[in-house]
Amino acid sequence: MKQYLFSYGTLQKEKTQLELFGRILQGSADTLKGYKAYAIKITDAKFLAKGEQKNQLTAIISEDNNDCIKGTALEVTEDELLMADRYEPDGYKRIKIVLESGKDAWIYSAIEFINSNGK
């Protein structure tokens, strides 16, 4: 079954997709309304060893409904979602959201911000 993974960061990069999934993913530009991207410092040594930057973006719910995150709705399989789960740094969790296009999709967000927003 086709799933959508909304990427607003490193998973949009073809190089990352090839290394992680062994292929370039199909996707389309989309927007996540009511959220904003917030930079946090990553301390997960395993994630950083992949050559990723210490400062990464995480999606947080905004009090301003005009806020949004632009990114890509990537088409992935169930197995690829599990691969993405293992790729993301410690402290990130996959959550279900609805994009501006109406697609149900998954995003990754830092647990500390999910918990602080009541999710």
Question: Would you say the C-alpha torsion 75, 77, 81, 84 has a positive or negative sign?
Answer: negative
- Given this model, what pLDDT does residue 46 score? 58
pLDDT at residue 40, rounded to an integer: 61
Please report the pLDDT score of residue 63 as a whole number. 84
- Single-letter amino acid code for the residue at 30: D
pLDDT (tens digit per residue) in 10-42: 889 899 899 999 999 999 999 999 998 877 665
In which element (H, E) is residue 114 found? Answer: helix 111-116
Q: Phi then psi for 40, rounded to 5 degrees?
A: -130, 160
> What is the set of domains in the chain, with CATH numbers?
3-116 (3.10.490.10)
Task: Please state, in angstroms and rounded to a whole number, the distance separating the CA atoms of residues 4 and 119.
Answer: 20
pLDDT digit string, tens, across residues 90-113 = 677 899 999 999 999 999 877 655
